[in-house]
């Protein structure tokens, strides 16, 4: 048998071993780490996170293997308090993505890496590469299992991504089974205490309400796309208007909000979403 055949047999053996361990741990508190161990036998992953999304509601944390209180706060509590609204995986789930493994950057807007969300959140978290595996849950909830590497490590290679896509049907079935009761607020993950699950659809109009009545409906829409990481050209194509018109809208938005940069726009949006969340919790 050739080297490729030997390699395939080895990967199959490792995954079969992992499936057995995952099945045995399906109801245990150690599930997240057992799942990570099974995946890392095939592809080097530093840690995993899992979230459940329902519409625009605040996502629920399902699983995590991250260590350290500060990293857990930034990756879980801070993310679910508002920045998730700018996350490409959140928007993919919102737009109906139900299954498959996707590299974050492949589902992101064209200028995502230049966005303040990417520059701020990913700098704080030290995340280098992220693969999202989508799975369906009851009551129109979409789960995303994020497989993550730190910045100091090389990105997931195309071959490694192919391996993840090959095992994706199994991962999807496992995750759907593990978290099948999440829509009833009964997730079993030991990370669940870091958030309070879905808070209804109270984020539904965050982009529409940000900036108040001083912004027009079109300006609210453009704010949303700018913060998500769309370029002027991408926004122009989205609305079938000229890039020059988009620039005029952006100048007007900045003037009305009393700001002068995308960084200030991002900071103002985060402040508004967190203030809104505090009001909802009171």
Class of the domain covering 206-281: mainly alpha
The answer to whether 151 and 270 have CB atoms below 8 angstroms apart is no
Dihedral angle of Cα 38, 166, 48, 23, to the nearest 10 degrees: -40
CB 34 within 8 A of CB 22: yes
| Per-domain residue ranges of the chain | 3-194, 206-281
Assess whether the region 3-194 and the region 206-281 belong to the same CATH fold.
no
Sequence-distant (≥ 6) Cβ neighbours of residue 152 within 8 angstroms: 126, 128
Specify the pLDDT at position 162.
Answer: 96
**The pLDDT of residue 200:** 43
Whether 31 and 12 have beta carbons less than 8 Å apart is answered as no
Q: How far is residue 239's CA from residue 229's CA, in Å, rounded to a whole number? A: 16
Q: Give, in order, the Cα–Cα distances in Å from 201 to each of 55, 209, 280.
A: 7, 14, 11
pLDDT of residue 206: 67
Burial class (CB in 10 A: 0-12, 13-18, 19+), 218: middle
Tokens representing 2 are 């050739």
Q: Which residues pair with 102 in a beta bridge?
A: 132
pLDDT given for residue 205 in this prediction: 56
Q: In sequence order, what E strands does 79-174 have?
A: 100-103, 127-137, 141-150
Going by DSSP bridges, is the β-strand pair 127-137/141-150 parallel, antiparallel, or unpaired? antiparallel
User: What pLDDT does 192 receive?
Assistant: 42
* pLDDT score, position 80: 85
Tens of each residue's pLDDT in the chain, 282 residues: 455 668 889 999 999 999 999 999 999 999 999 999 999 999 999 999 999 999 888 899 999 999 877 778 878 888 888 889 999 999 999 999 989 999 999 999 999 999 999 998 888 888 999 999 999 999 999 999 999 999 999 999 999 999 999 999 999 999 999 999 986 653 444 444 444 444 444 444 566 678 888 999 999 999 999 999 999 999 999 999 999 999 999 999 999 999 999 999 999 998 888 776 666 555
201's tokens? 């659809």
Maximal C-alpha separation, the chain: 70
3-194, superfamily in CATH? Answer: Transcription factor LuxR-like, autoinducer-binding domain (3.30.450.80)
Query: Residue 56: what pLDDT?
Result: 84
Q: Which residues contact 14 (CB under 8 A, 6 or more apart)?
A: 41, 42
pTM: 0.88
Beta strands in the chain (DSSP E): 47-53, 60-64, 100-103, 127-137, 141-150
Q: What is the pLDDT of residue 199?
A: 44
Quote the CA–CA distance of 55 and 32 in Å, as a whole number: 25
Quote the pLDDT of residue 202: 46
């Amino acid at each position: 048998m050739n080297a490729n055949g030997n390699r395939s047999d080895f990967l199959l053996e490792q995954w079969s071993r992992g499936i057995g361990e995952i099945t045995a741990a399906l109801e245990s508190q150690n599930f997240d780490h057992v799942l990570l161990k099974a995946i890392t036998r095939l592809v080097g992953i530093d840690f995993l996170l899992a979230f459940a999304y329902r519409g625009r509601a605040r996502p629920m944390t399902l699983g995590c293997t991250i260590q350290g209180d500060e990293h857990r706060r930034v990756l879980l509590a801070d993310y679910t308090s508002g920045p998730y609204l700018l996350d490409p995986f959140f928007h993919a789930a919102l737009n109906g993505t139900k299954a498959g493994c996707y590299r974050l950057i492949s589902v992101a807007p064209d200028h995502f890496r230049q966005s303040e969300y990417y520059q701020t959140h990913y700098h704080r978290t030290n995340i280098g590469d992220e693969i999202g595996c989508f799975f369906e849950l009851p009551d129109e909830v979409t789960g995303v299992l994020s497989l993550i590497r730190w910045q100091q490590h090389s990105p997931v290679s195309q071959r490694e991504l192919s391996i993840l896509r090959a095992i994706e049907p199994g991962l999807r079935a496992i995750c759907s089974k593990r978290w099948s009761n999440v829509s009833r607020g009964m997730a079993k993950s030991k990370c669940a205490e870091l958030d309070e699950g879905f808070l209804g659809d109270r984020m539904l109009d965050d982009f529409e309400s940000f900036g108040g009545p001083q912004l027009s409906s079109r300006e609210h829409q453009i704010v949303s796309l700018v913060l998500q990481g769309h370029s002027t050209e991408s926004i122009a194509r989205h609305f079938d208007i000229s890039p020059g018109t988009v620039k005029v809208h952006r100048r007007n938005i900045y003037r009305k909000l009393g700001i002068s940069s995308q960084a200030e726009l991002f900071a103002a949006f985060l402040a508004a979403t967190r203030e809104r969340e505090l009001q909802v919790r009171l």
